[in-house]
Amino acid sequence: MKKFLTLACATLLTPALAQGAFQLDSRYQDKDGDLIADIPSAESELIDPSTLIFAYTPVEDPAVYREVWSEFLAHLSDVTGKRVQFFPVQSNAAQIEAMRAGRLHIAGFNTGSNPLAVACAGYRPFTMMAAADGSFGYEMEILTYPGSGIDAVEDIRGKEMAFTSQTSNSGFKAPSAILKADYNMVAGEDFEPVFSGKHDNSILGVANQDYQAAAVANSVLNRMLRRDVVNEDQLVSLYKSQTFPTTSYGLAHNLKPELQQKIQDAFFSFKWEGTALEEEFSKSGEAQFVPITFKNHWEVIRKIDSANGVEYNCK
């Protein structure tokens, strides 16, 4: 057991008895088999908005991240020749619905919501952040606080545990699968689940002893520790998972192909040095955007969904 010595929506998921192959909603096509929505071939189905709307995953205070992304969005505007507007979202479900409804064009979706965004909103992920050496990812950790009476994962039985939202990989789906497979514990049967809405809410909730335990992404935890939002001596880590892919960034499927290419070019040509983006994300070891594919990089996440017996309800 690792101890920190200083403090470091309406869901769109429904349970299913079994899950078959990953499928997109009927409004999208995937003729090339890459598991994401094809760009429409009919000109009438393509859009070329004068203002591009960008949203970052609702992990922490949106007001903080408006400034963090400001230099990147200025670069994106220069490359595309479009106005770019930052859209603060309060939940994963709201972010997915905004893209599905055509109100969101470019977004960073958290790890666990990627399959739902791809299946139900026509999201086309193409990049994520990585370290300077190309390594990437984060781990799910289960936290408690000193003196909670929880000294091991098994001690959560009969107590309360906080999750973030049902679309979150590290905040719900991965810990649910791990607790069931490795500890024979099921939420609602062996312990009481509560939902905080965001990783920072869960971390603060444990640090302030409002939650007895919580499952969180340690990328968020590390940033909060470095900003002194919480202190290491407020927390104890009970469990650390394998490494998962982090937030992906991508596009609405029906943007014009040439515009989609310009947007991708903007991500890969952005110079991080000296920017607010570098200052913020260097706290979790990230320094560049690298190419990814949903089919390959999110395979483990789709397997977790399958293990949890979930299907994607896009209605």
pLDDT at 95: 94
For 23-35, b where at least 16 C-beta lie within 10 A, e where not — what string? ebbeebeeeeeeb
Backbone angles phi, psi at 130, to 5 degrees: -145, 165
Question: Amino acid identity of 261?
Answer: Q
Structure tokens at 33: 């088999």
Q: What is the pLDDT of residues 250-279, one digit of tens each?
A: 999 999 999 999 999 999 999 999 999 999
* CA atoms of 226 and 63, how far apart (whole Å): 18
Backbone angles phi, psi at 196, to 5 degrees: -90, -20
Intrachain domains 47-135+245-308 and 138-243 with the same fold:
yes
Domain 138-243 has CATH 3.40.30.10: no
Structure tokens at 94: 């709201």
In 3D space, the residue among 258, 255, 261, 248 whose CA is nearest the CA of residue 291 turns out to be 248
What's the whole-model pTM score? 0.76
Per-residue pLDDT tens listing for the chain (315 residues): 444 432 223 334 444 333 447 899 999 999 999 999 999 999 999 999 999 999 998 866 777 889 999 999 999 999 999 999 999 988 889 999 999 999 999 999 999 899 999 999 999 999 999 999 999 998 999 999 999 999 999 999 999 999 999 889 999 999 999 999 899 999 999 999 999 999 999 999 999 999 999 999 999 999 999 999 999 999 999 999 988 999 999 999 999 999 999 999 999 999 999 999 999 999 889 999 999 999 999 988 998 888 888 788 887
Q: Check: CB of residue 160 under 8 Å from CB of residue 213.
A: yes
Q: Check: CB of residue 111 under 8 Å from CB of residue 245.
A: yes
CATH number of the structural domain 47-135+245-308: 3.40.190.10
Residue boundaries of the structural domains of the chain: 47-135+245-308, 138-243
In 3D space, the residue among 179, 171, 180 whose CA is nearest the CA of residue 152 turns out to be 179
Structure tokens at 247: 């937030």
